[in-house]
Amino acid sequence: MSSDLGGRELHLSVHPVAAGHHPGAWRWPGADPLAFSRIEGYLEVAQVAERGRLDSIFLADVPGLHADIDDYPQLNGLEPTLILTAMAVVTERIGLVGTASTTFNEPFNIARRFRALDLISHGRAGWNAVTTSGPRVAGNFVANEPSSRARYAKAKEFVAIVLDLWRSWAPDALAADVASGLYADMSRIRPIDHHGEFFSVRGPLSLPPSEQGYPVLYHAGVSDDVRTLTARTGEAMFTAVVDIDTARAELDVVRSRAVAFGRPADAVRFLPGLVTSVGGTEREALERRQALDELSGTRGAVRGLAAQLALNPDDLELDRPVPPALRGRLHAVHGHARPAARRALEGQTVRDIIRRGGGGGHIVAVGDPEQVADLIQTWFTAGVVDGFTLMPDVTFDGLPAFVDHVVPVLRRRGLFRSEYRGRTLREHYGLPIPDVATRRPLAKAL
């Protein structure tokens, strides 16, 4: 395939979880079944990803045990900014993006934590701001889970406060002038004095800007509230789409809303998930996928499908279709779970739905390096994505397979960089350094 990019550059992030994104990954020969709680594997991932000149590493987070783990490990165990700080020490260029919830945190703590990561990494940090729901997690923090409306209203205020705190220092505030004795110009460090519906925060932040100003702001999800939040303040978006038409519609909504908020249409880098299974040949890749399917535990897979479809897992039998009495509610399922709902409405068995939906609502690439590169190129040249968030089926060998075999194909086609051209995450994504001196406080405008 030839490429006609019109000056566009493909962006690739990697989202490593535990042993891998496939439910059978933890049982794969050579995989570490305890990977979710060990730092060594994460550090190897960071070094492999940087060897491939990927833009960033993206770490999700769930602050609690969000599902039973009797036949499938917890995807996220260690706290993201701790992992990313360790990664910063063993890497030099790759971006470091971590997730932290706006539902069960305080804005000042998050602003400080990610500013610290940004300084330690010399301008390579990003914050994925998400809301958190579900009784298992909410019960760790509050007696009653907040409504969706309350979560997103709080998120809107939370994000604006964090941005104002990050902008509370002018770039020239820190003088550190030994000769004159002036350490900092306090007229250039300003409180934010925010008093809102959910938070009161005086400020300013206790740390100066980094080489990139402040961390890149991510949002992740598939809901309409996420689209609006991304359009208002986001700079990158991790989402789940399964076909080009869906991706185009999603991107059009975010861009049109960004313009309505007074931002450029291309202010957000659109980086949906891409689950990868790479083999030396197509047959090897398919056999790898089949072997992983056979290693998968069924109980966790059924629970995962039930969660996607908002059903009770006790009502589902593996080798039977979803009961007809429950199918009516599936017409209301949207977003990344829609393909699974469609298969259920067609009468496919629960087992078949699980196997055919192995990407969890994300794009799935199974094939040899040329075939995986073909899929990436098709989506990218269609103009519906700025790149992808890679989700290797098995982390320890799936990511090296992509870096060592797919990335060279992308380079030969003129799609992906051979070397980093900058040192900060903003430079990798082609994002500007924020102008903190002239912008009015965001939180006061809510």
pLDDT band (50, 70, 90) for residue 272: very high
Residue in the structure block whose two tokens are 């390579």: 124
Query: Is residue 106 helix, strand or coil?
Result: coil
Question: Each residue of 172-188: pLDDT tens digit?
Answer: 999 999 999 999 999 99
Among 385, 110, 132, which residue's Cα sits nearest to residue 236?
Answer: 385
pLDDT band (50, 70, 90) for residue 318: confident
Please tell me the predicted confidence (pLDDT) of residue 446: 63
Question: Each residue of 281-306: pLDDT tens digit?
Answer: 999 999 999 999 889 877 777 877 88
Residue-by-residue DSSP string for 121-183: TTS-EEEEEE----HHHHTTT-SSPPPHHHHHHHHHHHHHHHHHHHTSB-TT-EEEETTTTEE
Q: Which residues are annotated as a binding site?
A: 61, 99, 152, 223
Contact call for residues 9 and 417 (beta carbons, < 8 A): yes
> What type of residue sits at position 10?
L
Question: Each residue of 352-394: pLDDT tens digit?
Answer: 887 766 557 789 999 999 999 999 999 999 999 999 999 999 9
Average pLDDT (206-214) is 97
Average pLDDT (96-113) is 98
Average pLDDT in the chain: 92
User: pTM (2 decimals)?
Assistant: 0.92
C-alpha pair distances (Å), 369 with each of 284, 402, 407, 421: 11, 8, 8, 25
Could you give all domains of the chain from N- to C-terminal order, each with its CATH number? 11-276+364-445 (3.20.20.30)
Average pLDDT (226-254) is 96
Please tell me the predicted confidence (pLDDT) of residue 393: 96
Please tell me the predicted confidence (pLDDT) of residue 302: 82
Among 69, 79, 26, which residue's Cα sits nearest to residue 396?
Answer: 26
Q: Which residues are annotated as a binding site for FMN?
A: 61, 99, 152, 223
Tell me which of 66 and 35 has the higher pLDDT: 35
β-strand pairing of 236-238 with 269-270: parallel
Burial of 214 (0-12, 13-18, 19+ CB in 10 A): buried
CA angle 255, 308, 63 (to 5 degrees): 80
Burial of 265 (0-12, 13-18, 19+ CB in 10 A): middle
